[in-house]
Structure 1
Amino acid sequence: MQADVFVKKRWNSFIFLLILLVVTFVSIVITEFNMAKGLASLPKALQWGFTNFYPDEMALTKLPDILNKLRETVLISVAATTVGAIFAFLFALFGSRTTKVNGVLSKVSRGIATIFRNIDISAWSMILLFSFGQSALTGYFALFFGSFGFLTRAFIETIDEVSSSSVEALQATGAGYFSIIFQSVIPSGIPQMISWILFMIETNIRSATLVGILTGTGIGFAFDLYYKSLNYHTASLVVIVIVITILTIEYISNYVRRVIL
C-alpha cells in the first residue's frame, strides 16, 4: 500500500515537472526569448554598469535631498504598517475562531482580509491614483491596505495558535470577552505580533520604492527622476542608500525579534 502511494507521488511529481517544462518552452517561443543572445549580452551589460552606475562627486551633492526623500519613505512605511496593524488586530479578533463574536462576523472579517491581502500594493497604488493623484497620501493608503490584509491573516493565525488554551481556561471561569482579550490574547500573542509588524515594515520599505515611482513621491520618485534624466551616477547613489537602509532595518528587526521571542 505504501509502495503504491510512493509510486503515485513520484508520477504526480514527474507529470507536474513535465507540465512546467512545456509551459516554460511555450513561453520562450511566444516571447521569442533568445537565451544565447541574453547570455552573450551579459558581459557588455556588466561593463556598462561598472562604467556608469556609481556615485561621483556631483552625485554626492544630492545626498541631503536623497536622505530627505528616504526619511519620507521610511516614515510613511512605518506609519502605514502600525496603523494597519491596529485595524488588523481588531479584525483578527472578530475573525479568529478563538475570539470570534459570531460566525457571520468572523466570515466577513476573513473575507475582507482576503480581498485586501490578495490585491498587490502596486495594484492598490494604481487604483488609488484615480482618487488621490500622485501624492504621499496615495502611497500611504496603498501600503496601509496591503499591510492591513496581510497582518489580519497573520494575527488570526497567531491568536488561534498561541491563545486557544488560555482562552478556553478563562472562558471556563466565566471571564468576560474583554478580560479574555487583555489577560490572554494580548499577553500571549504580542511577541509574535510584533515580529509580524517588524516583518511588514521591512516589506513596506522595499515596496515603497516601487510605490514611489507610481505615485511620484519618496525615494522611488527620486530614483525614477535621476534615471530618466540619464543621471546614472546619482541614480546609483539612490540605489546604494536604499540597499543600506534595507539592510539596517533588517538587522534592527532581527535583533528585536531575538530579544522578544
Structure 2
Amino acid sequence: MKVDVKAANQFFNQKRLRLTAIIVVFGLAYIGASLGLGFQSRSLLGVQDGIAWLAQNFIPNEASKGYWTEISQQLLRTFLVAVASTTCTAAVSLFLAILGAKTLAVSRSISWLIRGFASLMRNIPIVAWAMILLFSFKQNDLTGFLALFFMTLGFLTRAFMETIEDFGTEKIQALQATGATYLQIIFQGLIPEIAIALMSWILYMIENNVRDATLVGLLTGTGIGFIFNLYFKSLRYGAAGLVVLAVILLVVSVELISNLIGRLLS
C-alpha cells in the first residue's frame, strides 16, 4: 500500500499545532490566574516543607488509637447518611426519569420541565446545598441528608433518563403492539431490562456520596467530618490523621464492594 508522505506530514503538523495551541492556552490561563491572585510560583518550592510537616504530625500514633471507637461510630453514621440519601433519591429519580424520558414522556412540556429541573439541581455544588440548608435545618444529620439528596437527585434523574432512552423506542412500540398498557411496559418490560444499569448508577452515587458526606459533615457539624474538624482545631493531629485513614479505608471498601456487586449482577 502506497503511503502519501506529504499528506501524512501535513496531518502530523496539524496535530502538533493543535497540541502547541492547547499548551499555550493553558499556560496563559495559569499566568492570568496567578497574576489575578497574586500567586508566586516560587511558593511551590516550599511544598516539601509542608509534606514533611504532614508526615511528622498526621501519622496516627499510639495516643490516637484511643480515639478509634469514636471515629468508627461517626464513620458508620456518615456511611448510613450517604446510603439513606442515595437510596431515597433513587426512588424519586426513577419516577421523574420515567416522566421525563423522551420515549415514555406523557407530554413534551413535562419532559423538558423535568430535564431543566435535573440540570439545575445537579449544577448546584454540594457545598452550596449544605450552606443553604444549614440556615433552615441547623447543624444535624437531616441537613447533610437533604444536601446529598438534592445534589444526587439531579444527577440520578438525568442518568436514569438516558438509561431509559437507551432502551429504545422500537422495543416500547413492540410491547404496545402486544396490547401492553403503559404501566405494564414500565414495570414488566422496561425496569427488568434496565435494572442492572440502574443499580450500577446507584452504587456509583453511594461511593460518591460517602466522600461528599465527609465534606458536608464539616459544615453541618455531624459525622466524620465534624470530628476531623474538632481534632484538627484542638491540635490532635494524630487523631485527625487517623480520621483521614479511616475515610480512605471506607471509600476503598465501598468501591470494592460496589465492583463485586456489579460483577455479580452482570
Same fold by TM-score, threshold 0.5 exceeded? yes
The structural deviation recorded for 1:91 is 0.4
Structure 1 position 166 matched with structure 2 position 171: yes
Q: Which piece of structure 1 moves more, 30-39 or 19-28?
A: 30-39
Letter matched to residue 27 of structure 1: A
Distance 2:104 2:206 in 1: 26
Partner of 2:5: none
Distance 2:151 2:261 in 1: 23
Letter matched to residue 218 of structure 2: I
Structure 1 position 21 matched with structure 2 position 27: yes
Letter matched to residue 117 of structure 1: R
Q: Unpaired segments of 5 or more residues in structure 2?
A: 1-8
The structural deviation recorded for 1:38 is 1.3
Alignment of structure 1 residues 178-257 onto 2, 5 Å: 178-257=183-262
Letter matched to residue 30 of structure 2: T
Distance 2:227 2:213 in 1: 12
Distance 1:7 1:188, change over 3 A: farther
Partner of 2:117: 112
Q: Is the 8 A contact 1:69 1:218 kept in 2?
A: yes
The structural deviation recorded for 1:163 is 4.5
C-alpha distance after superposition, 1:114-148 (max 9, x if no partner)? 11111111110011011101111100000001111
Helix, strand or coil at the partner of 2:129: helix
Partner of 2:41: 35
Letter matched to residue 123 of structure 1: A
Letter matched to residue 102 of structure 1: S
The structural deviation recorded for 1:167 is 1.4
The structural deviation recorded for 1:19 is 2.9
Distance 1:223 1:20 in 2: 35
What's the TM-score, normalizing by structure 2? 0.91
CA-atom RMSD, angstroms?
2.2
Distance 1:7 1:181, change over 3 A: farther
Q: Unpaired segments of 5 or more residues in structure 1?
A: none
Distance 1:10 1:106, change over 3 A: farther
Distance 2:11 2:52 in 1: 53
Count of aligned pairs between the two proteins: 260
- Hey, which bits of structure 1, 4+ residues long, moved more than 4 A? 3-17
Q: Which piece of structure 1 moves more, 204-213 or 100-109?
A: 100-109
Distance 1:184 1:6, change over 3 A: farther
C-alpha distance after superposition, 1:81-104 (max 9, x if no partner)? 000000000000011011111111
Q: Is the 8 A contact 1:163 1:185 kept in 2?
A: no
Q: Is the 8 A contact 1:163 1:188 kept in 2?
A: no
Letter matched to residue 249 of structure 1: V
Distance 2:189 2:15 in 1: 43
Within the candidate set 90, 99, 104, 2:104 is matched to 99
Distance 1:152 1:160 in 2: 12
What's the TM-score, normalizing by structure 1? 0.93
Q: Is the 8 A contact 1:163 1:184 kept in 2?
A: no
Distance 1:42 1:165 in 2: 58
Distance 2:218 2:13 in 1: 50
Distance 2:13 2:175 in 1: 49
Structure 1 position 87 matched with structure 2 position 89: no
Distance 2:168 2:195 in 1: 11
Distance 1:110 1:196 in 2: 18
Distance 1:228 1:97, change over 3 A: same
Letter matched to residue 36 of structure 1: R
Q: Is the 8 A contact 1:125 1:142 kept in 2?
A: yes
Distance 1:49 1:4, change over 3 A: closer
